[in-house]
Structure 1
Amino acid sequence: MQSLELKIPPLALVVLFAGLMWLLARLTPGFDYAVPWRQVLVATLSALAVLIILAGVASFRRASTTVNPLNPSSSSALVVSGIYRITRNPMYLGFLLLLAAWSLMLANLAVLLLLPVFVWYMNRFQIVPEERALTSLFGNDYTTYCARVRRWI
């Protein structure tokens, strides 16, 4: 299964999961539910997600390091400030929140099953390989950071 490590860009994975969620919602209309204030909730959650993602990207840009998720070994700086004081993976957290907003928009209970699958995939095939690379690059500084800040939130 290592062949999937760092192979699919996380943004492409979000698009793939969004498509799967849409398809699952169409195939399981019996799981539809009503969501009061749906548009407001979706807009609020989406805005929060985008802000978290942009905060992560901005922190990387300020540190002049790569945002390329497929090549973490090219990182030139360990970013531990800004949003990275709260979560080690703000961009991925933001992607998860976007998918959660999409699930609210679809208003189908079955699609919620795909959210933990997304988290599992990201942990197994993206985050753990990134953590290996960052441990190799930054050693004790990175392991100390990991002990202090959670992977997601």
Structure 2
Amino acid sequence: MAMRDKFPDLPPIWAAGFFVAEWVAASVLPIVTFGAPLTAALGAIFAFAGFAIAIWAAIWFGRKKTAIEPGETPTALIVEGPFRINRNPIYTGMALVLIGVALWLGGLSSLLIALSFPSVITTRFVRDEEARLRKAFGAEAERYFAKSRRW
């Protein structure tokens, strides 16, 4: 199934929605504010690291010539590069960007929204992707799951 058939139910769209929700929450209901140059700088570091991890992981999909889109049948089990750190480095990168944005915005409500992203993505995408890997790679996938973290 092509990505356009799944639009808008795609991880980057979910991340963009979380970004908008963070922005609105910081503007309308910040709960506790902690905006300072230090938190803004820390936010920039988190966001940069998140983008870097996601790009690094995307490069590995190209190297292994396997589909990057959720819902597609994988043709390779990627266990190198950032996939040695955890099984979902692109989603981890997205989460780090959202945490960085929350720190930059300086509102607790934004941070709480960012921290809920992994749970939503796990429910919506990760479990299905893990099932696809199990189906495609069997025991090899199970060994990888046993020695790696989901997040």
1:18-67 superposed Cα distances (whole Å, 9 cap, x missing partner): 10111111121452223342342222212211110011011111111111
CA distance in structure 2 between the aligned counterparts of 1:122 and 1:68, rounded to whole angstroms:
14
**Moved segments of 4+, more than 4 Å:** none
Q: Which residue of 2 aligns with 1:3?
A: none
Map 1:1-153 → 2, pairs under 5 A: 8-69=9-70, 71-73=71-73, 75-152=74-151
CA distance in structure 1 between the aligned counterparts of 2:31 and 2:69, rounded to whole angstroms:
40
Asked if the contact 1:87/1:151 (under 8 Å) is kept, the reply is yes
1:100-149 superposed Cα distances (whole Å, 9 cap, x missing partner): 01101110011222123211111111100111111111111001100001
| Alpha-carbon spacing, 1:35–1:138, altered in 2? closer, same or farther (3 Å) | same
Asked if the contact 1:72/1:134 (under 8 Å) is kept, the reply is no
TM-score computed with the length of structure 1 as normaliser: 0.88
Compute the RMSD of aligned alpha carbons.
1.7
- Taking only the aligned residue pairs, the percentage that are identical comes to 29
| Alpha-carbon spacing, 1:68–1:114, altered in 2? closer, same or farther (3 Å) | same
1:69-107 superposed Cα distances (whole Å, 9 cap, x missing partner): 2x232x111111111111100000000000001101110
CA distance in structure 1 between the aligned counterparts of 2:48 and 2:35, rounded to whole angstroms:
22
TM-score computed with the length of structure 2 as normaliser: 0.89
Alignment length (residue pairs)? 145
| Alpha-carbon spacing, 1:7–1:80, altered in 2? closer, same or farther (3 Å) | farther
Q: Any stretches of 5+ residues in structure 1 without a counterpart?
A: 1-5
Asked if the contact 2:77/2:141 (under 8 Å) is kept, the reply is yes
Q: Any stretches of 5+ residues in structure 2 without a counterpart?
A: 1-6
| Alpha-carbon spacing, 1:78–1:103, altered in 2? closer, same or farther (3 Å) | same
